[in-house]
Amino acid sequence: MLNPHPDLTASVLIGLGWYYLILFGMNLLWTFRSYKHDGEFRNGVPKASFWAVVTAVLLMTSAYHFTYPPDGFLIFMPLWFKNFFNAYFSNPVLYFFLSVGGLVFMIAAREWWIKPTVAWVLLNLSLLFMGLSLTDYDFRQIVGKPDNVPIVAMLFIVAFFTWIYFKRAVDNDRRMDEGRPLFEQEDNEKVLVWPDLVYTELICMVVVTAVLIFWGIALQAPLEEPASSMKTPNPSKAPWYFLGLQEMLVYFDPWLAGVVLPSIILGGLMAVPYIDFNKLGNGYYSFKQRSFAVTTFLFGFLPLWVALIVLGTFLRGPNWNFFGIYEYWDVHKVEAATNKNLSQFFWENLGGIPKGSGALDILLRESPGILLVLGYFFALPPLLGLTVLRTYFARMGVIRFLVFSNLILWMAILPIKMLLRWSFSLKYIVGIPEYFFNI
Amino acid sequence: MSVGDYIRNSQIWKSVFRHPAPTDRRNRVVVMLTNFFLHLHPVSIKQQGIALSYTWCMGGITFFLFLVETITGVLLMFYYRPTLEWAFYDIQALRDVQTLGIMREIHRWAAHAMVITVWLHMYRVFLTGSYKPPREFNWVIGVLLLVLTLLLSFTGYLLPWDQLAIWAITVGSNMAKATPGLGTEGPGFQLFNTSGYELITNASDAKFLLLGGRFVGEATLNRFYILHCVAIPLVVSGLIAIHFWRVRKDGGISQPL
């Protein structure tokens, strides 16, 4: 019988042939650039020769895809790797730590990875990983969905602009250390808007239009079956840009994940210019002068927003279970969840949970969690202001500091709740389902 | 005299453009001051401020995508009826039958792209510290525009009226049910339901307001259609105007102070 879900088919190979052809073109251009700028190895051979070999290999790879039939095809993601990846990399804990670790590495090793050659190697490796992964049926099912294509593109685009930021920031930081003018201040003559800006704008518009038309022809907008309130799809997902919020539903109830936290994200964004008292770094790229502000923003944008969207889109399948990138979305996958509330942990050794459904009984039952939350939001800010963040407190004044510290604490509750869930199977810190008040 | 010169010297041309072609310095200045579409620019600008590796051009692309959405959206409105009877089949016809059906693809992909370019624009503005004084308030307007962009996309998501659409909106609007104080599955709504009066019920809470019903139905489709095609675009247009105006008034595009 024919395999209904083959990893490799003729059309997949042709698609990948085009994919490697594009990689070939990119690396061909890079070879020329390398020949011009990169110099030679010690024995006099130009460093570009390495890239020439890479380019040649890519061209042969592409040709091989175009000409060879799917049977006995040799270039694919090996099964042992897929099994290894599915077994050890398929859980939200590791995913979160990798994304935070990636950010820490990005900041710590910024002087290394902003080098064009390093960045180019990293880009090539990630594209090769993606090309090889595309030989997997389940990977293609998710990544290849028309609505998901922009999210894959967004990953590379965000990485690219983050690279530009660090490149220019490191350059400016060096310049300031050496007392040289900023990059933005060199050759900064005034030019006429016509032609210097209006032509750039025109070219941008033409390019964007061309991309949209090409994209519109290449990928058909999704249209599923007619709406039916009887058939609930599994998983039911919000639009992709809200999937970070939907992912928060794993850790918080809807009133927090869907209403309070989004409001605080937006309010916090609006408050940024009023709580950032640092006058440096206005209108130019720099990291050293604004390391706290930039790190906080990158933490909020990369691991807590972009990475959660990617997680919600690509890795959450039926019943919102976590699936590896090469894993079949099995509706029957069962994940044991025996989470316990803080009150259960607390009263367990003190003779059992207080019973009774009166307001006072509930307050007594949940008092440990309530005190903890009150302490977190009301006692911690002044404490921080008097100790670790004393300089901030002195420069910001009372109101600014309270807003600032509360926003930071709100931002931290998601990772904190994640860690508590993963390490103690904690369900709610405060659990009052009687009044839908669960934290 | 060439044909081009003849046209440029005609009364019609001059009545439209009011000055010779912008080929010399004087007319390149004049064109910025007399052309309605160009006058939102200054006449001259710092070279590094418009370098692509500095500005990334994401704000401009976002605005252009908004225009694309407006044009393709108006064209789609000619083909689309927001009723339970027709919504899905009109979209299906756009895919299978209508000559300009690709407008729907362009509309959808440009919408996705617009969400991403708004984020990247904010990313750049943050990373260059351009929200700092005197541009604080324009950043606030920018955040409002971010919210409205997401709402535009969210309301548009429902219109094809397929499974993808109603369930995404169902998942999203279920959150409204949990609004503290105003939703029947959120904390605190009982405060409004004391002494016999039931102020917050599933026929009067925040979700009902959003959907125009207890669940995603025809009233929702109508509501989202009007929000998507009229209400939100009007507000966005106003805020964009203020956003651009403030860019000029707050010292022009960002630059080291």
Residue B82 sits in a domain whose CATH number is: 1.20.810.10
Instruction: State the pLDDT at residue A90.
Output: 84
Percent of the residues in chain A that have a pLDDT greater than 90, as a whole number: 72
DSSP string, A262-304: HHHHHHHHHHHHHH----SSSSS--SGGGHHHHHHHHHHHIII
With respect to residue B255, please indicate whether it lies within any of the assigned structural domains: no
Instruction: State the pLDDT at residue A330.
Output: 87
B196 and B90 housed in the same domain: yes
Instruction: State the pLDDT at residue A166.
Output: 97
With respect to residue B256, please indicate whether it lies within any of the assigned structural domains: no
With respect to residue B152, please indicate whether it lies within any of the assigned structural domains: yes
Contact A270 B143 (CB under 8 A): yes
Instruction: State the pLDDT at residue B189.
Output: 83
B133 and B109 housed in the same domain: yes
Task: Convert the pLDDT of each residue in B8-19 to its tens digit.
Answer: 888 998 888 888
* A236 to chain B: closest CA residue: B167
Q: Are A388 and A409 in contact (CB under 8 A)?
A: no
Is the pLDDT confidence value at A335 over 90?
A: no
Residues with Cβ within 8 Å of A75's Cβ and at least 6 positions away in sequence, in order, are A61, A64, A65, A132, A135
- The count of other CB atoms within 10 Å of the CB of residue A100 is 16
Question: Residue A206: is it exposed, middle or buried by C-beta count within 10 angstroms (0-12/13-18/19+)?
Answer: exposed
Contact B126 A297 (CB under 8 A): yes
Residues 1-20 of B with CB under 8 A from A: none
Q: Mind telling me how many Å the CA of A6 is from chain B's nearest CA?
A: 26
Closest C-alpha among B140, B118, B146, B1 to residue B61 = B118
A116–B contact, CB cutoff 8 A: no
CA distances to A430, A435, B69, B105 from B114, in Å: 39, 40, 9, 14
Residue A1: pLDDT band by 50, 70, 90 thresholds?
Answer: low
User: Which region, left, alpha or beta, applies to residue B57 given φ > 0 means left and ψ of -120 to 50 means alpha?
Assistant: left
Task: Spell out the SS3 assignment of chain B.
Answer: CCHHHHHHCCHHHHHHHCCCCCCCHHHHHHHHHHCCCCCCCCCEEECHHHCHHHHCCHHHHHHHHHHHHHHHHHHHHHHCCCCCCCHHHHHHHHHHCCCCCHHHHHHHHHHHHHHHHHHHHHHHHHHCCCCCCCCHHHHHHHHHHHHHHHHHHHHHHHCCCEHHHHHHHHHHHHCHHHCCCCCCCCCCHHHHCCCCCCCCCCCCCHHHHHHCCCCCCHHHHHHHHHHHHHHHHHHHHHHHHHHHHHHHHCCCCCCCC
B167–A contact, CB cutoff 8 A: yes
Instruction: State the pLDDT at residue A400.
Output: 94
Contact B140 A297 (CB under 8 A): no
Is the pLDDT confidence value at B193 over 80?
A: no
Sign of the torsion angle spanned by Cα atoms A150, A210, A120, A80? positive
A184–B contact, CB cutoff 8 A: yes
Task: Convert the pLDDT of each residue in B139-184 to its tens digit.
Answer: 999 999 999 999 999 999 999 999 999 999 999 888 988 998 888 8
Quick one: average pLDDT of A87-115? 94
What is the domain range of residue B31? Answer: 1-44
With respect to residue B30, please indicate whether it lies within any of the assigned structural domains: yes
Q: Are B87 and B76 in contact (CB under 8 A)?
A: no
B119 and B161 housed in the same domain: yes
Instruction: State the pLDDT at residue A349.
Output: 79
Q: Are B30 and B40 in contact (CB under 8 A)?
A: no
B142 and B167 housed in the same domain: yes
Which contacts (CB < 8 Å, 24+ apart) does range B83-87 have?
A: B83/B218, B83/B221, B84/B161, B84/B217, B84/B218, B84/B221, B87/B159, B87/B160, B87/B161, B87/B221
Residue A188: pLDDT band by 50, 70, 90 thresholds?
Answer: confident
Residues with Cβ within 8 Å of A8's Cβ and at least 6 positions away in sequence, in order, are A70, A73, A76, A135
Task: Convert the pLDDT of each residue in B86-130 to its tens digit.
Answer: 999 999 999 999 888 899 999 999 999 999 999 999 999 999 999
Is the pLDDT confidence value at A51 over 90?
A: yes
Q: Among A134-148, A277-291, A332-346, where is mean pLDDT lowest?
A: A332-346
B110–A contact, CB cutoff 8 A: yes
- What residue type is assigned to position B177 of the chain? K
Residues in B touching A227 (Cβ below 8 Å): 88, 161-163, 165-166, 216
With respect to residue B140, please indicate whether it lies within any of the assigned structural domains: yes
Contact B163 A182 (CB under 8 A): no
Q: Among A182-191, B71-80, B138-147, where is mean pLDDT lowest?
A: A182-191
Q: Mind telling me how many Å the CA of B75 is from chain A's nearest CA?
A: 16
Q: Select the residue of B53, B122, B131 nearest A164 (Cβ to Cβ).
A: B53
Q: What does R_g of chain A's alpha carbons equal in angstroms?
A: 26
Residues in A touching B159 (Cβ below 8 Å): none
User: Which region, left, alpha or beta, applies to residue B54 given φ > 0 means left and ψ of -120 to 50 means alpha?
Assistant: alpha
Residue A346: pLDDT band by 50, 70, 90 thresholds?
Answer: confident
Instruction: State the pLDDT at residue A68.
Output: 78
Q: Are B57 and A200 in contact (CB under 8 A)?
A: yes
Bridge partners (DSSP) listed for residue A431:
A438
For β-strands A431-432 and A190-192, DSSP reports them as unpaired
Q: Among A335-339, A400-404, B65-69, where is mean pLDDT lowest?
A: A335-339
B107 and B145 housed in the same domain: yes
Last residue within a domain, chosen from B44, B63, B78: B44
Q: Mind telling me how many Å the CA of A186 is from chain B's nearest CA?
A: 8
Closest C-alpha among A45, A105, A143, A152 to residue A298 = A105
Q: Could you report the predicted ipTM of this complex, rounded to two decimals?
A: 0.94
Closest C-alpha among A65, A38, A45, A44 to residue A121 = A38
B89 and B163 housed in the same domain: yes
Residues in A touching B180 (Cβ below 8 Å): 255, 259-260
A216-233 core/surface letters (b: 16 or more CB in 10 A; e: else): beebebebeebbeeeeee
Count of domains forming chain B = 2
Quick one: average pLDDT of B1-30? 88
Residue A2: pLDDT band by 50, 70, 90 thresholds?
Answer: low
With respect to residue B212, please indicate whether it lies within any of the assigned structural domains: yes
